């Protein structure tokens, strides 16, 4: 009787040892996929429930950095008012321009200057 008990305890222990990694792999969620293998064979070592490759390690490139120069604003100077046009003053009776003719009996005639 004692021999039968030790065989039953050994079988239950073996079943739990084999089934435990499947339950751990499911992260505590039972999906109904547990497998029990008796003995040590290729299915134990290479079975999908016991060995899986780690997820691939991917190195992300650094994000692109685009540097924009800040806009440069140049404040324009206000436009200068047009220069007051200077006139030459002509006296018709004296047939001369001011300051050659200091006085004129009739009103002076405004004449725009000429560039020569």
Q: 21-80, pLDDT tens digit by residue?
A: 665 555 555 555 556 555 555 544 555 555 667 778 888 899 999 999 999 988 888 887
Q: What is the mean pLDDT of residues 93-106?
A: 90
Report the pLDDT value the prediction gives residue 87, as an integer from 0 to 100. Answer: 85
Backbone angles phi, psi at 104, to 5 degrees: -140, 130
Report the pLDDT value the prediction gives residue 105, as an integer from 0 to 100. Answer: 92
d(CA 96, CA 99) in angstroms, rounded, equals 9
Domain residue limits, the chain: 2-46, 87-116
pTM for the model stands at 0.28
Q: Which residues pair with 90 in a beta bridge?
A: 97, 109
Question: What tokens does 62 get?
Answer: 């650094």
Q: Of the candidates 81, 83, 106, which has an alpha carbon nearest to the alpha carbon of residue 93?
A: 106
DSSP state of 48: T
């Amino acid at each position: 009787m004692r021999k039968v008990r030790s065989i039953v305890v050994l079988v239950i222990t073996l079943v739990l040892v084999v089934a435990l990694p499947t339950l751990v792999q499911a992260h505590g969620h039972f999906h109904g996929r547990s497998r029990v293998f008796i003995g040590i064979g290729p299915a134990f070592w290479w079975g999908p429930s016991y060995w899986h490759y780690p997820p691939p390690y991917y190195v992300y490139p650094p994000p692109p950095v685009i540097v924009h120069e800040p806009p440069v604003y140049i404040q324009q100077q206000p436009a200068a008012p047009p220069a007051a046009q200077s006139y030459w003053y002509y006296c018709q009776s004296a047939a001369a321009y001011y300051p050659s003719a200091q006085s004129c009996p009739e009103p002076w005639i405004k004449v725009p200057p000429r560039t020569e």
